[in-house]
Amino acid sequence: MVDYIIVGSGLAGIAFAETLLQHNKSFVVFDNHSQNSSKIAGGLYNPVILKRFSQVWNANEQLQLAEDFYKKIEAKLSVQVDFKVPIYRKFFSVEEQNNWFAASDKPNLSPFLSSTIIHNKYSAIDSPFGYGEVLHTGYVDTNVMLNAYQAYLKNKKLLLEEAFDYNQLQVFETHLAYQNLIAKHIVFAEGFGIHANPFFNYLPLDGTKGELFIIKAADLDLDVIVNTSIFILPLGHNLFKVGATYNWDDKTASPTEEGKQELIDRIKEILTCDFEIIEHLAGVRPTVKDRRPLLGTHHLHKNIHILNGLGTRGVMLAPAMAIDLYDYIEKEKPLEKSVNIKRYTTS
């Protein structure tokens, strides 16, 4: 018998697996790698929603837990995954500068928004109005982290690289049975794959397709993440990750010509240098209309749980949400109403 079965080894599944390891709980993970949004994610963490100049929900707590989580992952796997890089918001007018100053005066935003206009000159980017610096930012190399963590699980014989067959799950009052496995609990963390899940497919997980480039730009000298209508993230060796698009209609994980052209047009609005597209990536983010994760327990089965809906902020949310779900299951600590899936059930 194991304590848990986890379905999915993206950011949510791995964060929950690591939480279980830290509490000496046994588990096995199922993943057929059909969902790729975690691996191709931009991986940025940023405590401020720059479009609206508002603080990310529970940003302070999430940042602290995320920093601790990724430090432990780095130590465990001997890889660097967390890169502390400033995010610079490019200003296009004096009005945008003034809006930034007004936001940086707000008590909840002042710890995260520098009140000094930065006039660094980056080759291939015209910036006559300068930049605003967001503090406590960076990015997680999700592809490196997930590949390394999945290899770690595989080495420990904790990862089964196969599709989970929902029809074979037998639910009993005190335990669950699946093939030759007996478990106390199961946590579904399969991202957009939730739509095939008969236990939770009623939940309003929309899915938002995002497309990204890896580009090569030899004449772009950039050591920060620039945020405008897209982000430009330096990877080293003249390579940059650029994204992302938002498509609410297309639910496939295939790159499109429309997405490609949109990214090219936006890059040309920012960069004055030539660039080469090295890679074109796409994935469907597990997004929810109310912009809150989906955590909790099935309304009929007390040993079937969900950790999903981390959306565009998975690297910040995953560690905190994994701890919250663990404490809810093991310690009966109530979940915040805004993340509990009970908000979508009447029974």
Domain termination site, one of 238, 255, 285? 285
pLDDT in tens, 53-68: 889 999 999 999 999 9
pLDDT at 188: 98
Q: Give the dihedral sign, CA 37/314/141/71.
A: negative
Q: Does 62 map to a domain?
A: no
60 assigned to some structural domain: no
Q: What is the pLDDT of residue 146?
A: 96
Contact yes or no for 185/199 (Cβ under 8 A): no
Residue 322 falls in which region: left (phi positive, over 0), alpha (psi -120 to 50) or beta = alpha
Domain count, the chain: 2
Q: Which domain holds residue 187?
A: 2-46+143-204+289-344
- Residue entry with tokens 């964060």: 15
Spatial neighbors of 227 by CB under 8 A, at least 6 apart, are 46, 50, 87, 88, 89, 90, 134
pLDDT at residue 52, as a whole number: 83
Among the three residues 285, 303, 324, which one is the final residue of a domain in this structure? Answer: 285
In this structure, the answer to whether residues 150 and 270 fall within a common structural domain is no
Strand partners, 285: 208
Q: How far apart are CA 192 and CA 36, in angstroms?
A: 10
Checking if the pLDDT of 51 tops 90, the result is: no
Question: Do the domain assignments include residue 220?
Answer: yes
pLDDT for residue 40: 85
Section 132-159 average pLDDT: 97
- Domain boundary, last residue among 262, 285, 308: 285
- 231 and 274 share one domain: yes
Nearest Cα neighbor of 17 from 300, 336, 322 is 322
> What is the average per-residue pLDDT within 124-153?
96
Percent of the chain whose predicted confidence (pLDDT) is above 70? 99
Domain assignment present for residue 309? The answer is: yes
Taking 70 as the threshold, does the pLDDT of residue 347 lie above it? no
- Pairing between strand 138-140 and 44-45? antiparallel
Whether 161 maps to a domain, the answer reads yes
* 312 in the same domain as 184: yes
Q: What is the mean pLDDT of the chain?
A: 95
Domain of residue 329, CATH code: 3.50.50.60
Tell me the percentage of the chain whose pLDDT exceeds 90: 92
39 pLDDT band (50/70/90 cuts)? confident
Distance in angstroms (rounded) separating the CA atoms of residues 68 and 50: 25
Position 38 scores a pLDDT of: 85
CATH of the domain at 240: 3.30.9.10
Sequence-ordered list of residues with C-beta below 8 angstroms from that of 244, at least 6 positions apart, any chain: 42, 210, 211, 212, 230, 231
In a domain, 81, yes or no: no
Q: Tell me, yes or no, whether 153 and 170 share the same domain.
A: yes
Residues 196 and 157 in one domain: yes
The C-alpha atoms of residue 226 and residue 89 are separated, in whole angstroms, by 6
pLDDT in tens, 235-263: 999 999 999 999 999 999 999 999 999 99
Residue 346: pLDDT band by 50, 70, 90 thresholds? Answer: low
Q: Are 124 and 213 found together in one domain?
A: yes
Q: Does residue 57 lie in a domain region?
A: no
Residues 114 and 225 in one domain: yes
**Judgement on whether residues 194 and 320 belong to the same structural domain of the protein:** yes
Q: Is residue 97 located within the same domain as residue 124?
A: yes
Regarding whether 111 and 13 lie in a shared domain, the answer is no
pLDDT at 22 over 80: yes
Q: Judge if 106 and 174 occupy the same domain.
A: no
The pLDDT assigned to 321 comes to 98
Q: Is 56 part of any domain?
A: no
pLDDT band per the 50, 70, 90 thresholds, residue 34? confident
Query: Is 258 found in the same domain as 152?
Result: no
